[in-house]
Each structure stands twice: as C-alpha cells, then as structure tokens.
Structure 1
Amino acid sequence: MLAAGAVLLSLLIGTGAYLGLRTQTVSEARAIALEGVRQRGSDWYAANLLGYVAVLNHPDGYTRSALAETLAEERRGFLPGTGTVIDVAMSSDGRSALVSDAREGSGLWRLERNPEAGRENLTGNRSTMLDRGYGPVALSSDGRIAVIGNDASGDVKMWDLSEDDDPRRTVVRAGDHTERLLDVSLSADGMTLFAGFGNGSVEIWSLEGGKPRMLARVREHASGVNVVSASGDGKKLLTISEDSAVVWSLADPLHPAPSSRLRSAGRKPTVSGWSGGVMSTDGRRAIVGRTVWDVTDPVRPTQVGSLPSQAEGGVPLAVAGDGSAVATVENEPGGVSSLDPVVVWGLKDPSHPIPLATLRVPDSQSWQLAMSGDGTTILAGTRAGGAYSWLLPKPRSGFIRDACVASQPLRPPPGFWEKISEVRPPDVLNEEPFDICSGLS
C-alpha cells in the first residue's frame, strides 16, 4: 500500500508539473502573441517573428488569429484619394483597378509592389481620371476596356484604355431617368456588356469596334436586378434579384434563354431576399447568397456547398477566375457593423469551405469587393474610408504557412529578441538550419 501510494503521489506530482508547464507554455505563447500585436505598424519584422514564435510555442485560436491578422494587415495597401466608394472592378492580373467614388468620380488605378517598403503589399496610384460621375463599373480582364454607369439615369459609357495617355470615350447608352442602373458586367475581352436595371430587365450590348449596339433586352425578374455576372467567354450569365437567381445560356446573344432558376433553395427563412452573388470567369461555379453552385451545365445546376456564418443574403462577393476562392464581407457576431471583416474562403472542396484569411480596414465598412483571377489580390471599397488592397500568397495549405513560405523571417541578430520581448528566447531561434516555417502544421 505504501508503494502504491508513493506511485500515485509521484503520478499526481508529475501530472501537476506537466499541467503547470503547459499553463506556462500557453501563457508565454499568448504573451508573445500580444507583443507581436503591439509591434504592428512600427516594426513588421518583429511583429511577424513574434507571431510565428507564439504559434510554434502553442498553436491555438488566440495565437493563430493574432498572427493571421498581423500578416493580413502588413499586406494591406491604401488607394489615396478615395473616399466614399460606390463600386470597384479589377483586371485579371490584379494590376489595374477601376474605382467609382462619390466624392472623386471614377478613375483607373495601378496597383504595384513598393520595393522600398520591404513589405508584401501594394501601393495604389491613380493613373487616369475617367469621369466625374459615379455608379456601377466593370473592367475587362486585360484592363483595356472600362465601363462606368450612372445608377440614377441609366447612362453607360465605355473607355478604350489601350493608350494610357489617351483614353477614348464612347457613349453606350443614354439614360432616360426612368430605369435605375444597378449592376454591369463585361466578358473577359470587354466586347460584350451586360447591364441590370431596377425594373427587372437585363440588356446585352456588343462593344465591338467601339461601336456599341444593343443585342437583346429581356425581363425575367419581378424586381430589380442587383447582380449581373458573366463568364469570361460571355456564354453564360448569372442574374440575381431579391425574388430569384437565373442562370442564362447565351450561345446566341441575340436570343438569350434562361437555362435554370434558383428561387429559394439554400436561402435562410430569415433573409428577405438575395442581392449578392457572382459567377467565376470559367463559368463553372456560381455563388448565390451563401450557397455555392456547380453551373457547368446551366440547365442542371447543382448546389455543392454553402458558406458558413449567419451573414445576410446581400453580402458582397468576389471570386477567383476558377472559383477556387471567394471573398465575402462578413457580419461579425457581437461586433460593430463598421468593422465587419472581409473573409477569403478556399473552395477547392466547396462542400467544406476553409477560411484562408481575415482582412480588416480601419474604422469603415467594406461593401464592394473585387478579386484578381488567381485570388491573390483583393480590393475592398468602403463607405467612408476609401479603397484598400491586399496582396496574399497563393492559397495552398493555409494562409499562415503560405505567408511564411512566401517571405520567411530571417534569423534575428543577437540581442534582438530581448529588445522586443520580455519572455525568454525560445529554442527555435537557435535551431540549425533556421527554418521557422517547418514547425507550422
């Protein structure tokens, strides 16, 4: 009995020591993570290093989210001169952005890496001011054709941007002030324009040769068409109103035919109607509200997944060209609506969407989104804070690991750790070879 008691006592002591050590590891990891948060904006190298070490010490929700938001904030850029953004569009390569602003008008921006900043972000420079008006906008995949509409009058204009210093404007449609323009979309080559109106109608225009002509006008919605989103080849079109979503076959653009309707499938009873959605450039995937659809066969669309959370059906959306990633503006539970984040979801397996990154803007609500073809450049327009961009790594195994592989922190010089942290230097700093990414799962 004495022997058994001794064994039990040693086990209890050992368990207590282990729990004490684990508690110390957890508290140290979270202390390091907090120190990393404090370094944001002043020393990005220190912020990243502290964040990675915190996750390596103890990977939990706190340390991972702190690091992920540090990495995302470091990659955020601002488009100076933007204020109240009405709509945004982006070229497929992520280098050109069209921004419609209620204060400044509509202009084209060049998004470029800043080699002097030492950061993985983009700087925005307005290269061309196109129009003092504002409204829905669209940009061709190569950034050479821009379309700007006036939501109140229904006017639509196009610009040929082949010559940077001499953009050529053409009036596509002169509005009659009876039809409110809600959304526009372009085929990848910029030669076919799609427009949705408040009376439920959709127009299709040819822009070939800079001589616009209307190909068709149809009406399949009982309420305003909030979304028109075309495939890159212009052969499919997704239109969404509060009453329904329609997938169109446009093999003959003179006679567009509705292939299928998605009326209430996947819509939560608490959501009054749909107003958000998008189709991927390859025409194989559509996101309607929170539901993900395979529309390879537009006659028989199949729901293949849904995005989690309790966000409304009108959430802004942007999708990668192959539908492998989508960006949404999320309603953060218990948070302030003006701080609702942009979340990038991985949809390689659409039945199990994975949150890849959470992106935040300072003190303003994001409400318009655009995404480059490969899903690595995100553009968000806000109601009062201007437009912001992010340059993300290509999604492979998760944002934290991908960001580490893309720009792994160098080994800190002697004495550096003691300057930025009150926690003892972790063993990982002395490992040979120094590869902080290898420890991330």
Structure 2
Amino acid sequence: MVYGLVFTRTGHGLVVVDSAEIRIWRLHGIRRPTPGPQLLASGNARDVRITHDGRTLAAACDDGVVRLWDLTDPRRPGAVRELPAEHRKLVSVSLGEDGSRVAAGSSEGAAVIWTRRSDGTYRRADTERFQSSVAEAALTPDGRRIAIALSTGAMWLCGLDRRAVCTRRYAADHVGNLAAGLGYSADGRYLAEAGSRGTLRLRDPASGEVLLSLPNPRPLQSLTWASDRPTLYTGSADGGTAHRWSLPLPILLGHTDTISDLALHDRRSLAASAAHDHTVRLWSIHDPHHPVPRGLLRHPTAVTALALHPSGTRLVRGHRRRQRPPLGHHRQTPPPGHRQAPRRIHHLRRLRP
C-alpha cells in the first residue's frame, strides 16, 4: 500500500512511502522510473511532506517518531534526524514553509510540535492532548498557527507563540464528519478540509469558519496544495478519482446566511453584499476573478437591501425593523398569502477612497 507521494525540488525524483520502505525514485520523462536512494528500510511511515523549497522531507511513522532528511541534493540525501513524539501511531505530519517548525498528529489523541534551534537541531515545544484520536494536523506556511482535526469531526485551532507553544486553543465550526485531509494554501489564505463523506470545505485560516462547501460525488481520502499557485488537488476513497480545484474562485466568500442584495460600483471597482447574517461585506473587484475583501459592516438585524452612492463613498443599507408590541398586546398572525412590506431604516456609511 502506498501511504504518500512527493516530488523532489527539481521534479526529477519522486519520494514514495509504501508498506515496505521510503525510497526516492529517479524519473526519466515517459520512461519507467528507476530506484534511487532508500531513505528508510521500514514500512511504518504513514504520511510524508516536503518543504516549499524542497530541502527538507518529513515522515510520520507508526513507531512514534518523525524522521527528517535533507534533500538539498536528492541524489545524496543527508543523514536521517529522528524527533520522538512520546506518542505512538503517528498518522500525519506538517512542515512550516522553511522547515523551522514541524507538527505531527497521533491517533492516541495528541498533536506534537517541534521547533528548530539556531544550531539546526530540533526540540519538542508543545503537546496538545485530546479525548479523541487526531486524524490530521496542519501548520500554516509561517508556522504561527496549527489546525487539528479529530476523528469525531471536531476541529481545533491553536495560535503559536515564538517558542511554538499554543497560547490559545479554540474550536472551529463542527460539521460532523472526519477530515481525511487538511492543509493550508501556500499563501496562507485558505484552510482546506477534505471531508470523508465527499465534501471539500474552504475555511477561514484564522477562525476556522467554513467559507465554502464544494460537494464531491465520492468520499475524499486526501488533499494537497500546489506549491507555486492556488490550486488544490483531492483524491477520492473509492473509484480512484482525483480532482483539481483552481482558486481563488470568483465567489464572494464569508456570508453564513441568505444573501439578500448586491450592489456594484464599476468606476471604483467596488462590490457590496448584504445578507441575513446581519452583515454587509465590501469587496475590491479590480480583477473580477479574484475578489479581495475590503471590509465588514455589522448590523443588529438581517440586512435586506443596500445601495452604493454614485460617488462610491457612501453606502445605504436597509433592514426589517423590529418593534416591541405594547404591554398586554397579543400579536395576531397575518392571514395566508399576506405579505408585510419591510420597514427599512437607512444608514449611511462613508467609505474610504
């Protein structure tokens, strides 16, 4: 069984983690690959990752050790470094962009974080423990935050200080099914989650809020981001199907309820969206295929309508006004088919040029 695949920095080699060993295979165009250096003569590795620059390879092993190799020259890999986790059955591993931080998840209910010292050695900085098995753990490219997915479907986020210690742990939106894959995009703008029931979710990287759910007809097994562009690849658990998703999508992400109105200002390349989640979101649409968030306006009730002033510097928003009935008054239910006109209160907001 193959547990992981990663290309070397030049693309001339492929690291294969299977049930027998970890080995670099030499690629020769369309010709059959030939075996290269063997990194580990054991089949206990369960996950493998490589840094953005291709210099550091990490493997999470079932014996509770993360193993690192220097692949600056894939033809002559550096000696293995071993990072004991004090928890067996490691199932996932993640690296910061430069390899200075390493994280691993264990099915024994722990996520372990290491940080690199100035002399190049690593020390175990923190261990986060949970009541359930850890299915996936992912570091942001800058190594300042970690996302941890549990076998129950719950997800936790931790902010890491300069010592790589979790200073605040908080729960993200719980959607109810196991994350079979988890990873931050190379620019850190998205946290992607491959749901075991077939849904690909994009989350806010800081809060974990679900921004967008993309259905997939088959259960998902894995995901990976391209290192040089916002492109996501997913693999299904049955049927051997893989999909490619190009991001960012030309979709205004972030609302959590019905979007009631939209307003555009072509000259200022500005868009505004109103929703029943009590918010108005502002967007820069200089490139319509890559909308950029510009601001968030909150309101105590659902926003039902909006308009942008011709100058593009003011916004009017309307909502259904809630009125308290007089003391002792019993509110009557309107007859079927009756539609009550919304009572709109207009608020002016001056926008930054």
Shorter-chain TM-score bucket reads 0.5 to 0.7
The alpha carbon displacement at 1:251 in A equals 3.6
In 1, the alpha carbon distance for the partners of 2:65 and 2:200 equals 32
Aligned runs of 1:347-426 on 2, under 5 Å?
347-349=247-249, 351=251
Once residues 325 and 307 of structure 1 are traced to their aligned partners in structure 2, the CA distance between those partners, rounded to angstroms, is 14
| Residues 351-386 of structure 1 deviation map (CA, whole Å, 9 limit, x = unaligned) | 599xxxxxxxxxxxxxxxxxxxxxxxxxxxxxxxxx
Match of 2:6 in 1: 89
Number of corresponding residues: 246
The structure 2 residue matched to 1:309, chosen from 216, 219, 235, is 216
| Structure 2 counterparts to residues 142-291 of structure 1, below 5 A | 142-151=53-62, 153-174=63-84, 179-208=88-117, 209-219=119-129, 221-243=130-152, 244-258=154-168, 260-265=170-175, 267=176, 271=177, 273-288=178-193, 289=195, 290-291=199-200
Structure with greater helix percent: 1
Relative to structure 1, the CA distance from residue 166 to residue 350 in structure 2 (aligned partners, 3 Å threshold; closer, same or farther) is same
d(CA) in 2 for partners of 1:102, 1:261: 34
Distance 2:182 2:84 in 1: 27
TM-aligned CA distance change 1:86 to 1:342, over 3 Å: same
- Partner amino acid, structure 2, of 1:275: A
- Give secondary structure in 2 for the equivalent of 1:317: strand
The residue type paired with residue 23 of structure 2 is: G
Using the aligned pairs only, state the percent identity. 22
CA shift, 1:96, in A, is 4.6
Change (3 A) 1:233 1:170: same
Counterpart CA distance in 1 for 2:208 and 2:97 is 22
CA contact (8 A) 2:173 2:208 kept: no
* Cα distance change of structure 1 residues 170 and 246 upon mapping to structure 2, 3 Å threshold: same
- Counterpart of 1:173, as a letter, is L
C-alpha distance in structure 2 between counterparts of 1:287 and 1:171, whole Å: 29
CA contact under 8 A between 1:246 and 1:258: conserved in structure 2?
Answer: no
Q: CA deviation at 1:261?
A: 2.0
User: TM-score, normalised on structure 1?
Assistant: 0.49
- Structure 1 residue runs of 4+, over 6 Å off? none
Tell me which amino acid in the other structure corresponds to 1:340: G
Question: Whose strand proportion is higher, 1 or 2?
Answer: 2
Letter in 1 for 2:14: A
- Partners of 1:305 and 1:350 within 8 A in 2: no
Query: Secondary structure of 1:318's partner?
Result: strand
Within 5 Å, which residues of 2 pair with 1:105-144? 105-111=21-27, 114=29, 124-134=33-43, 135=45, 136-144=47-55
